[in-house]
Amino acid sequence: MRDPLAFMESLRPHGDVVRVFIGRLPVYVVTSSSLVHHLLVAEAGNVEKGKLFDRVRPLIGNGVFTSNGAFHMRQRRLLQPAFHRDRIAGYTRIMSEETARRAGEWQPRQVLDVQRELFDLTLKIIAATLFATDHAREVVAEFQRNFPRIVAGIGWRTVAPTPLVERLPVPANRRFDEATRGLRRAVLETIARYRADGRDHGDILSMLLAAKDERTGEGMSDEEIHDEVIALLVGGTESTALTLSWLFYELGRHPELEARLHAEIRTVLGDRQIGFEDVGEMTFVRALITETLRLHHPIWIVMRRARSPIELGGVRIPQGAEIVFSPHTQQLDPDLFPEPHRFEPGRWLSSSAPVPRESFLPFGAGRRVCLGDAFAWTEMTVTVTTIAAHWSLTAAPGSRVRPLALATVYPRDLRMVLDPRP
């Protein structure tokens, strides 16, 4: 709990699968990227979401992020159309406009709290795609106000050895319960307004309300829609904001990479705003994002539970056992990535020693691969390009950035100074 990132990384020399104890609970930690891929793909039918998600499920609902089995597959089918390529092309305009609007509000030499600013921006983007009306203004305000409390509560409960911590009459629990209740009420009231309105507003919430299971013809209940809205708000805000925050931190430390980024922007875009058709042309931007996900992945722990006995790397894992891997630390294998702690986007542009596809899983793999991966790649590309075209960010005097592992990995004290681009 003092330094979970260092602890997870320290397990690699002990083997590809290492048994540790959280309290009295035995947990099998998978340190090999190829074995993680095998777990998520070949063994997908033999594992389910683990204890971490049992703790999270009552808090953020049983959406596609936390659900299991047939219900999970049903929800994926119902949500899939929201992330079709044609829809993402439409979302790109929202991403570009929201980012340009936010960047236009900044002032030269302003000291920016980068993580907070990018959290607000990604929240505006996902909210604009989820809700096209003013009905959801309260949802956005509740989420913005209470999300830090929710993240802190989830992080604490995730690593606690017993669920009894949730019942302790301490201020942190009271704040957490108030935050989740307020957000739940706001989301359900918004759903009720949309149902009463009855119109298709061309947004994701309208699509969720209209979605029907092709096998049964049934739609989703208000509770099910609530859980998916929460999953999309969480998934579409925090991880993206944190990845972008770490990316700008690295650009501030590496002016030669920033210069290369600006050269690509001039070559591909000139003076115009980025569009969906440009995203695939921004090859250096993609390398920057990929290297950021490798070195600073926002998720430090993922859990699965063995539904039946399985074998990983010669280790027999019994039915019901908890299995853990760390996306944040599994990409630090020096055999795959020379100088693994060095930020080097060029490693993704070289064809001389390509990284095996199964060894790099920033959005998971198999049947539980992230539904919004294409949305996230597009949003990060648009955001980086739009901000970098107008502003250069450098570390503020006295800022000492350190990773802070709660439910996700935050850049603590990431303050940067804004300078306009000529």
What gap in Å lies between CA 107 and CA 117, rounded to an integer? Answer: 13
What gap in Å lies between CA 276 and CA 278, rounded to an integer? Answer: 5
pLDDT in tens, 295-326: 999 999 888 999 999 999 999 999 999 999 99
What gap in Å lies between CA 54 and CA 67, rounded to an integer? Answer: 9
For the chain, the domains span 4-389
pLDDT in tens, 101-127: 999 999 999 999 999 999 999 999 999
Task: State the pLDDT at residue 59.
Answer: 61
Lowest mean pLDDT among 39-43, 192-196, 360-364: 360-364
Contact 228, 62 (CB under 8 A): no
The full DSSP string for 112-178 is: EEHHHHHHHHHHHHHHHHH--SGGGHHHHHHHHHHHHHHHHHHHHHHH-SSGGGGGS--HHHHHHHH
What gap in Å lies between CA 285 and CA 262, rounded to an integer? Answer: 10
Residues ≥6 apart with Cβ < 8 Å to 302: 52, 324, 325, 326, 327
- pLDDT score of 214 more than 90: no
What gap in Å lies between CA 225 and CA 13, rounded to an integer? Answer: 44
Confidence of residue 387 (pLDDT cuts 50, 70, 90): very high
Tokens linked to 320: 């019901």
Bridge partners (DSSP) listed for residue 234: none
Architecture in CATH of 4-389: Orthogonal Bundle (1.10)
pLDDT in tens, 323-345: 999 998 888 988 889 999 999 99
Task: State the pLDDT at residue 160.
Answer: 57
- pLDDT score of 6 more than 90: yes
Ligand-binding site membership of 370 (annotated): yes
Tokens linked to 266: 């001039």
What gap in Å lies between CA 398 and CA 411, rounded to an integer? Answer: 15
Bridge partners (DSSP) listed for residue 17: 30
The full DSSP string for 375-386 is: HHHHHHHHHHHH
pLDDT averaged over every residue in the chain: 88
- pLDDT score of 28 more than 70: yes
DSSP state of 49: E
